[in-house]
Structure 1
């Protein structure tokens, strides 16, 4: 299996049984003091699909992600993952349901090795008690060995296996973004929330990341909710797009239709539609 950073491994790690649930956001509203950050926003992410959430800076995209992952409380509205209501749950309970996210600003432990950063993503799956793990009892050692084997599988799939011994803070920026993605996959999620996964990358890194996201969908059957400003990537990857402007949803639909919506062009895209599929990415 290839482990070069520019060309991630060709086959997905063996997934757990696929049971990706539908994510339904209904009339989601968030207010901070007198400011309305989200105003009755609704959209649905069907199982196994990739849904993009786009809009200008300050449109409410990160606020939406923070509600979905439990960092913010909704003022009103509903977020359901399958049959479970998420809006009243804490972040760790939402993560335990299989919701994993990356962040717009890299949130790695720079002094820890890449491998140990990925092991943090296995925390919710750890069954060994504190005493067994701390005393390095046989049961704890066996479980750690299993988790580290899984970490290597995922690192190979994402293309960072060569960097496992390296402190995360010493890695190039584009590799750190891949480490964040791999750490999210280490949670064995059912849905991924990816906050600008290619921000700050060069063209080759962006194309490699897009290819990795395609393989995640094909190989692991995950649902993905993507916040991204790279409209070429959105056009090529997304099944549906929801556009926010000043906290309101102004359009939802397939990329080809959304990119021609007059409100979207006015609010976000300027006078030029998103580049059509098949045109070259810079």
Structure 2
């Protein structure tokens, strides 16, 4: 069952690497059930922010709360256990079939122990059947039904991107972190993926934090946008307001603020 969406509050987060400040006092809030875009030029700190939220990096200072629980210092698997899942800009999939990759996402929800599963005890077999059935439902939802029992490796790039999203959804998250879901796709694939992201929010009611360079997709899908530049937040608000913000225009286009 999908975890209930909860409020994500990022407060004054700073991250440093060997004297370099990658995030500088960054704050923003993702409200439950919304699509929130995190945008900015290359090197703005977006991936660093995602790595903090998913437990890969630890902030030097600041706070990250999800549903009132402090995430700072938590291990990645513990954060996943709270109902936060992420995808990666570069596809991260294992060898094997689509079904096997999706079943990896069901691992945190599995109750049968290793011994019971290895011995094929009836309770473990029944549980695995339930998880596989749910994985098949999620695959169908993302248009992956025809590929469910096929090896991932030879599949087209756009299909493999969907497999990664499906794997994340198989953890039944309340918050989905999508890192550039349309990177490397052609225009037709981009439009289809935008429809998929909208459908995920509509059907599952979960929150989505989206890092994306496709501004058309961002303006179409996002309820709110936070803009980073050189590790600092320079704008935060509705897509329309952010799009017209002079600081955002300068960051993206190098233009001077109009007189």
**Number of the residue aligned with 1:176:** 160
Which of 84, 93, 97 pairs up with 2:82? 97
Matches of 1:155 and 1:207, distance apart in 2: 19
Choose the corresponding residue for 1:84, options 52, 69, 89: 69
2:212 aligns with: 228
How do 1:27-38 and structure 2 match up within 5 A? 27-38=12-23
1:152 equivalenced with 2:136 (yes/no): yes
- Cα distance per residue 1:214-239 (max 9 Å; x no partner): 11111110000000000000000000
Q: After TM superposition, what 4+ stretches of structure 1 lie above 4 angstroms from structure 2?
A: none
CA distance in 1, matches of 2:137, 2:125: 19
Q: Does 2:57 match 1:72? A: yes
Shift of residue 135, structure 1, vs aligned partner:
1.0
Runs of 5+ consecutive residues of structure 2 not aligned to the other structure: none
Report Cα offsets for 1:8-50 as digits up to 9, x if no partner: xxxxxxx54x621100000000001110000000000000000
Partner of 1:138: 122
Matched with 2:224 is 240
Per-residue deviation, residues 237-282 of structure 1 (Å, max 9, x unmatched): 00011000000000001111101111100112456xxxxxxxxxxx
List alignment gaps of at least 5 residues for structure 1: 1-14, 272-282
- Aligned counterparts of 2:4 and 2:102: Cα–Cα separation in 1: 23
CA distance in 2: counterparts of 1:43 and 1:260, whole angstroms: 19
Aligned to 1:260: 244
SS in 2 for 1:53: strand
Count of matched residue pairs: 255
SS of the counterpart of 1:169? coil
| TM-score normalized by the length of structure 2 | 0.97
Name 2:110's counterpart in structure 1. 126
The CA RMSD over aligned residues, in Å, is: 1.0
